[in-house]
């Protein structure tokens, strides 16, 4: 389990470093009205997520489940990175609602699928829920690190940020600072939503696995 855990903790540490660089830079959100909230919330979310990753290793019986969650989480992360790259480098084609929905649905499929697989193999709802919730967290750890990397590299560009209704309504005078604050806000929202949505999908996947097993058992009994 050490390799997946270390990868996730390394990505969280890299996210913390990038956040520190962004906050200490010339376009720090701290210089804008209300900017401290974004920094504090993102830092807290990273710390809590790191603690959760470290704590998960303390459950020896879930070593195999942890690995399954990690690899399905990475599959979802690939989709998120591709989507975010289309937003940043593809003339913002990734902002299209149909593409956003498609990429998100594909990631959700992986989270539900690991819940189904774990329930089918282990037969326990709690393990399926844990696997799917942790898979979602793993996906978002990668997405957050990549998103902060894009912000560090100057994406999205300031001209595009100035067209955002949220920026116009914010009253901020620094579009780059607003883009950084937006990335920090995503850290909190992603880490709050991911385990909740993943766990729910894990429950759905487990329920489907139990129904299918029951149906097969019933068919086998009738054929005996």
**Tens of pLDDT, residues 3-60:** 888 999 999 999 999 999 999 999 999 999 999 999 999 999 999 999 999 887 666 5
What is the band of 61 on the pLDDT scale with cuts at 50, 70, 90? low
How far is 154 from 39, CA to CA, in rounded Å? 18
How far is 132 from 216, CA to CA, in rounded Å? 24
How far is 138 from 153, CA to CA, in rounded Å? 23
Given this model, what pLDDT does residue 218 score? 66
Q: What are phi and psi of 97, to 5 degrees?
A: -60, -40
Please state the domain count of the chain: 1
Given this model, what pLDDT does residue 63 score? 62
Domain containing residue 192: 2-223
> Six-digit token pair at 158?
């300031």
| pLDDT tens string 183-223 | 999 999 999 999 999 999 999 999 999 999 888 766 655 66
């Amino acid at each position: 389990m050490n390799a997946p855990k270390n990868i996730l903790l390394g990505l969280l540490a890299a996210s913390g470093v990038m956040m520190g660089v962004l906050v200490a830079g010339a376009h720090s959100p701290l210089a804008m009205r209300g900017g401290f909230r974004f920094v504090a919330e993102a830092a807290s979310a990273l710390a809590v997520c790191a603690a959760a990753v470290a704590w998960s290793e303390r459950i020896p019986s879930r070593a195999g489940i942890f690995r399954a969650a990690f690899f399905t989480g990475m599959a979802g992360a690939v989709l998120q990175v591709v989507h975010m790259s289309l937003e940043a480098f593809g003339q913002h084609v990734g902002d299209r609602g149909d593409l956003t929905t498609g990429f998100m649905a594909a990631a959700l499929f992986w989270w539900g699928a690991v819940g189904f697989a774990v329930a089918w193999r282990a037969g326990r709802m709690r393990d399926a829920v844990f696997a799917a919730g942790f898979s979602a967290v793993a996906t978002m750890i990668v997405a957050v690190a990549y998103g902060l990397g894009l912000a560090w590299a100057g994406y999205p560009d300031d001209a595009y940020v100035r067209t955002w209704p949220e920026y116009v309504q914010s009253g901020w005078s620094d579009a780059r600072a607003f883009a950084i604050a937006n990335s920090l806000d995503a850290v909190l929202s992603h880490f709050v939503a991911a385990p909740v949505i993943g766990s729910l999908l894990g429950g759905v996947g487990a329920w489907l696995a139990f129904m299918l097993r029951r149906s097969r058992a019933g068919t086998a009994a009738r054929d005996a």
